[in-house]
């Protein structure tokens, strides 16, 4: 073994502590302190030293999170303090009973209030982590509550779990309990990748977390985006044991664990109901699944007096939310045709209450998805609705398949215009080849054209577009400008006043901008940002129309596929005559002067965060883009500036850490005025 020079030893300790701090900031506090590249460099330096002086490499080194040798099986471990489960409550009445039972048992007058800790009930896998003298020595699943499985190698790969406790003061022996879960983003990303590579996706984030922890090869677990939140303590040997649940959670936070952001200490039963309402509203926005709330009597002495019944404590209860997965029946599958001709199978379901709303439809994505699920019409299916994602069918319950269940046949002809449906090699979607001849594509194109971010024709909603097309009043967007009052008022449910309003807003919408107009045309893959870049680069519509694929490719962010779609669109004589007719009807915009001077923010990426009070976010984005800036959703080392309004959080913190210029809304307005 080589002797370690003192300066190397010192740098090693410094690197280790720095990496642990950055790790904690990133994975526990969600508040990155340095760019990823910087972190990777520090890790490289640490690994180089460990390679030369292997005796330095301790089990809690940040380099030791990549997983080790695969196991043959998991060994069993005993929980010295049993891991209990919770009783459930599904209504306010059951909550009132819970509160009353406790008060009766401890002889508390019903008018007096108890203090409760309220926490989201995370939908993952329970885990026990044992720290001896501050070092993580064992991680285990709950199992049956008394005997679990040893998953130490796997938990060590989870970055929000400290390999050693932070600080110098900690109990001799500490068993931390919590939930390991996969955040929704990570889950969606993982499933997308799995589908792309032909692997089986996970049904939901809880299964994904459980499946990832059940890997005998911890190197696989290391690649899964798992997190852990601490919510209680099992064994504890040491001084100064906190005297309440809340104080204990605070202590766990100080020792380096992730504690849920939404925990709250409240007094009295009414506050529990209030917390339920607040969290129910937040549920869809969270980036992880929760299936309810856990309420716990805060005081440990009271907890001890209350004790347990069977396998659940008397001092805690889980108030459940409506489930995010339910069983129902697949009644039929309809095929919808979108703006670009994509034919999407939509499942018609027996209505079912799931994730807080009644769901009657779910997407089946495409033919591959139907095959993968192996689902038939008439099947019992499991529907999942979580967050703001559209409801999905995650599984067909094949055991319950009724006799006469019908296989789903993907149509060869468009259900709207009967043109053939084709699927391009390598693409998942099948498309109707009817183009604007297809009524469905026409309707969707008009809806898009009229939408707020496009031509913004107030009052021209989806239903009205359907009625206009179905009654043969319009065949393309250009016909909007030919609409006459007499014809409009003949439409069902169309009063004189609304007809006049519609014509007025069509008139008003004629004053637009080049990027908005380009976006309105609904060219495939040309979203708002691409339309803006095209406008900035070419300046006039005629130049965009005339651009060759090569010229388009020179534009930043325009790849070969987008370039192809743009060229195809403007080579189509029908499209060109529609554009011409629109222009002749008086739709106009200012061309963009392309001298460098007019695009002073070209090449810069800006980020908007927090609330903007004077301008709307959309307006600020428009203005910045008009000057050539790109507006991105997340902060990175490449960000030029961040505009932060009240309520700005992690993006602002990251910008500060990366030393990026930060502007208030006020200074942005002044800045734009001076450009």
- Residues with active-site annotation: 121
**Site stretch for ligand IVH (CB under 6 A), options 1-9, 119-127, 454-462, 604-612:** 119-127
Pick between residue 312 and residue 394 the one whose CB is nearest to ligand IVH: 312
Pick between residue 304 and residue 674 the one whose CB is nearest to ligand IVH: 304
Residue 83 CA to residue 311 CA, distance in Å, equals 8
Residue 257 is a binding residue for ligand IVH (CB under 6 A): no
**Site stretch for ligand IVH (CB under 6 A), options 115-123, 191-199, 335-343, 570-578:** 115-123
Q: Using CB under 6 A, which of 316, 373, 635, 655 touches ligand IVH?
A: 316
Q: How far is CA 448 from CA 452, 523, 578, 635, in A?
A: 9, 11, 15, 30
Q: Using CB under 6 A, which of 86, 95, 102, 155 touches ligand IVH?
A: 86
Residue carrying structure tokens 């690197």: 15
Compute the least distance from the CB of residue 290 to ligand IVH, in Å. 8
Query: Residue 154: phi, psi to the nearest 5?
Result: -75, -45
Could you give the string, one character per residue 121-160, with x where binding to ligand IVH holds by CB under 6 A and - elsewhere? xx---x---------------x------------------
Residue 318 is a binding residue for ligand IVH (CB under 6 A): yes
DSSP per position, 141-177: E-TTSSEEEB-HHHHTT-TTS-SB-SSS---SEEEEE
Q: How far is CA 219 from CA 60, 67, 148, 158, 228, in A?
A: 17, 4, 21, 11, 18
- In the structure encoding, which two tokens stand for residue 550, read together? 């090569």
Compute the least distance from the CB of residue 287 to ligand IVH, in Å. 16
Q: Which helix (H) or strand (E) holds 287?
A: none
Task: Determine how many CB atoms are found less than 10 A away from the CB of residue 460.
Answer: 21
**Site stretch for ligand IVH (CB under 6 A), options 21-29, 46-54, 310-318, 347-355:** 310-318
Residue 227 is a binding residue for ligand IVH (CB under 6 A): no
Spatial neighbors of 631 by CB under 8 A, at least 6 apart, are: 529, 605, 606, 607, 608, 621, 624, 625
Residue whose C-alpha is closest to residue 592's, from 536, 518, 516, 543: 536
Residue 102 is a binding residue for ligand IVH (CB under 6 A): no
**Site stretch for ligand IVH (CB under 6 A), options 30-38, 80-88, 422-430, 468-476:** 80-88
Q: Using CB under 6 A, which of 209, 222, 279, 294 touches ligand IVH?
A: 294
**Site stretch for ligand IVH (CB under 6 A), options 114-122, 129-137, 386-394, 602-610:** 114-122
Q: Using CB under 6 A, which of 50, 149, 175, 179 touches ligand IVH?
A: 179
Residue 286 is a binding residue for ligand IVH (CB under 6 A): no
Q: Which residues pair with 353 in a beta bridge?
A: 358
- Scored b (16 or more CB within 10 A) or e, 195-214 reads beeeeebbbbbbebbbbbbe
Compute the least distance from the CB of residue 105 to ligand IVH, in Å. 17
Residue 231 is a binding residue for ligand IVH (CB under 6 A): yes
Pick between residue 320 and residue 372 the one whose CB is nearest to ligand IVH: 320
- Which bin fits 647, alpha (ψ -120 to 50), beta or left (φ > 0)? left
Residue whose C-alpha is closest to residue 674's, from 610, 604, 642, 627: 627
Nearest residue to ligand IVH, by Cβ distance, number only: 126
Q: Is the dihedral of CA 357, 358, 364, 369 positive or negative?
A: positive
Pick between residue 282 and residue 495 the one whose CB is nearest to ligand IVH: 282
Residue 450 CA to residue 459 CA, distance in Å, equals 9
Pick between residue 84 and residue 643 the one whose CB is nearest to ligand IVH: 84
User: What number of chain residues touch ligand IVH (CB under 6 A)?
Assistant: 15
Compute the least distance from the CB of residue 284 to ligand IVH, in Å. 18
For the chain, give me the number of helices (H) and strands (E)? 24, 26
Q: Using CB under 6 A, which of 34, 46, 77, 84 touches ligand IVH?
A: 84
Residue whose C-alpha is closest to residue 509's, from 455, 464, 448: 455
Residues 60-79 that bind ligand IVH (CB under 6 A): none
Residue 89 is a binding residue for ligand IVH (CB under 6 A): no
**Site stretch for ligand IVH (CB under 6 A), options 199-207, 312-320, 326-334, 507-515:** 312-320
Q: Which residues bind ligand IVH (CB under 6 A)?
A: 84-86, 119, 121-122, 126, 142, 179, 231-232, 294, 313, 316, 318
């Amino acid at each position: 073994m080589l002797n370690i020079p003192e300066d190397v030893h010192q740098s090693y300790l410094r690197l280790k502590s720095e990496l642990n701090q950055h790790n904690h900031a990133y994975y526990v506090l969600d508040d990155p302190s340095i760019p990823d590249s910087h972190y990777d460099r520090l890790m490289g330096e640490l690994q180089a030293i460990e390679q030369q002086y292997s005796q330095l490499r301790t089990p809690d080194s940040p380099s030791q999170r990549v997983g080790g040798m695969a196991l043959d099986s998991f060994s069993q471990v005993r929980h010295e303090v049993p891991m209990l489960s919770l009783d459930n409550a599904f209504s306010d009445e059951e909550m009132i009973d819970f509160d009353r039972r406790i008060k009766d048992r401890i002889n508390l007058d019903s008018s007096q209030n108890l203090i409760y800790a309220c926490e989201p009930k995370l939908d993952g896998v329970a885990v026990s982590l044992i720290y001896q003298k501050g070092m993580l020595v064992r991680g285990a699943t709950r199992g049956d509550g008394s005997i679990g499985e040893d998953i130490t190698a796997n938990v060590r790969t989870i970055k929000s779990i400290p390999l050693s406790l932070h600080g110098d003061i900690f109990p001799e022996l500490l068993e931390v309990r919590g939930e390991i879960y996969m955040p929704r983003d990570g889950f969606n990303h993982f499933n997308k990748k799995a589908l792309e590579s032909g692997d089986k996706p996970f049904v939901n984030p809880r299964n994904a977390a459980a499946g990832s922890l059940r890997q005998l090869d911890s190197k696989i677990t290391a690649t899964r985006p798992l997190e852990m939140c601490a919510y209680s303590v099992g064994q504890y040997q040491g001084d100064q044991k906190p005297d309440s649940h809340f104080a204990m959670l605070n202590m766990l936070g100080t020792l380096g664990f992730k504690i849920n952001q939404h925990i709250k200490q409240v007094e009295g039963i009414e506050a529990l109901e209030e917390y339920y309402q607040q969290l129910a509203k937040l549920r869809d926005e969270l980036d992880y699944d929760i299936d309810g709330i856990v309420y716990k009597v805060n005081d440990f002495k009271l907890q001890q007096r209350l004790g347990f019944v069977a396998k659940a404590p008397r001092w805690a209860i889980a108030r459940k939310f409506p489930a995010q997965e339910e069983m129902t029946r697949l009644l039929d599958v309809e095929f919808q045709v979108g703006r670009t001709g994509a034919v999407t199978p939509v499942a018609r379901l027996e209505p079912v209450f799931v994730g807080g709303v009644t769901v009657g439809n779910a997407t089946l994505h495409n033919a591959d998805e139907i095959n993968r699920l192996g689902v038939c019409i008439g099947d019992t299916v499991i529907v999942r609705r979580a967050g703001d994602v559209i409801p999905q069918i995650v599984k067909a319950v094949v055991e319950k398949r009724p006799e006469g269940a019908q296989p789903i046949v993907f149509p060869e002809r468009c259900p709207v215009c009967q043109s053939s449906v084709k699927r391009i090699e390598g693409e998942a979607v099948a498309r109707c080849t009817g183009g604007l001849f297809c009524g469905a594509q026409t309707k969707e194109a008009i809806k898009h054209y009229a939408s707020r971010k496009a031509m913004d024709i107030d009052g021209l909603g989806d239903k009205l577009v359907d009625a206009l097309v179905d009654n043969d009043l319009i065949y393309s967007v250009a016909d909007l400008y030919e609409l006459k009052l007499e014809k409009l008022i003949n439409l069902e449910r169309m009063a004189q006043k609304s007809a006049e309003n519609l014509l007025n807003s069509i008139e008003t919408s004629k004053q637009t901008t080049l990027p908005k107009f380009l976006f309105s045309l609904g060219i495939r893959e040309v979203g708002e940002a691409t339309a803006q870049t095209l406008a900035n680069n070419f300046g006039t519509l005629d130049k965009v129309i005339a651009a060759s694929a090569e010229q388009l490719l020179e534009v930043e962010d325009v790849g070969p596929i987008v370039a192809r779609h743009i060229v195809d669109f403007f080579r189509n004589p029908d499209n060109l005559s529609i554009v011409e007719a629109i222009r002749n009807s008086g739709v106009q915009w200012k061309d963009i002067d392309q001298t460098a001077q007019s695009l002073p923010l070209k090449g810069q990426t800006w980020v908007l965060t927090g609330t903007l009070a004077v301008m709307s976010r959309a307006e600020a984005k428009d203005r910045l883009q008009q000057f050539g800036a790109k507006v991105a959703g997340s902060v990175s080392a490449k960000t030029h500036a961040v505009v932060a309004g009240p309520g700005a959080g992690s993006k602002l913190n990251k910008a500060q850490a990366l030393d990026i210029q930060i502007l208030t809304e006020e200074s942005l307005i002044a800045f734009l005025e001076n450009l």
